[in-house]
Amino acid sequence: MTTISIAALARLALMALMLLGAAACMADSQPDAQPGDNQATAASTASKAVEALDSQPATVARIVDGDTVWVAVDQGGGPLAAGATHKLRLLGYDAPEDTKTTQCGGPEATSALRRLIPVGSTVHLTADRRDTDRYGRFLRYVYTDGGTFVNREMVRRGHGHAVLYQPNDAHIAAMRQAERDAKRAERGVWGPSCASKDG
């Protein structure tokens, strides 16, 4: 019976790793590799990250404005009752008005949210410390199926101001950073058109 030393096994393992690395490099250099392959992998990873959240899935039923939506919940097991629609206020930011009055950037914020989470799309909802606001709306952070953090993305695109709604502060640092990014780039409400109206 042949015995193999630990050193020999280590050398074999190292060679196997080197071969795997070479194969991966060759696959990356293949002409039929599609640029979207990396994006698909990233989207899959993001989707798995969303599934790992303590979240409740829902279907977008209606977009009210840039920070308020109605969702339909089909599955139980979460804080929102199944078999009903619920009005949500997205946490961590405030979009310009686009209902009873219209503020600069309001219609654009509403349109942006409609594109980001269109009616009929699946979203994943997570709560913070306080569940509802004084109007009875549920307060939620919203993620797309692909893993986009909708609340932060709206602020990053300049469609709202970062706002702390105490005690719901889980993501306020991310919101404020997104606002700084939007200001520097003069996006949305931070752009010249809204700035001139405010002045």
Tell which wins on pLDDT, 169 or 12: 169
pLDDT of residue 29: 35
Please give the pLDDT value at position 195.
Answer: 74
Q: Does 149 or 1 have the greater pLDDT score?
A: 149
Q: Is the pLDDT of residue 55 over 50?
A: yes
pLDDT, mean of residues 16-27? 35
Identify the pLDDT of residue 100: 83
Q: What is the mean pLDDT of residues 86-115?
A: 95
Across 109-125, average pLDDT:
97
Task: Write b or e for each residue in 49-82: b if 16 or more Cβ atoms lie within 10 A of its Cβ, otherwise e.
Answer: ebeeeebbbbbbeebbbbbbbbbbbeeeebebee
What are the E-state strand segments in 10-114?
56-65, 68-73, 84-90, 93-94
Residue 49: its pLDDT value, please?
54
Closest CA to 62 of 126, 147, 120, 136: 120
Residues in the chain, total = 199
Q: Is the pLDDT of residue 152 over 90?
A: yes
* Cα angle value 99/56/168 (rounded, 5°): 60
Residues 28-43: what's their mean pLDDT? 44
The answer to whether the Cα torsion of 100, 105, 109, 115 is positive or negative is positive
| Stretch 101-123: mean pLDDT | 96
CA 58 to chain centre: 14
pLDDT of residue 50: 57
The arithmetic mean of pLDDT across residues 29-47, rounded, is: 45
Six-digit token pair at 173? 């640092």
Structural domains of the chain, with CATH: 48-194 (2.40.50.90)
Asked whether the predicted pLDDT for residue 198 surpasses 80, the reply is no
Mean of per-residue pLDDT scores for the chain: 80
Which of the pair, 19 or 155, is modelled with greater confidence? Answer: 155
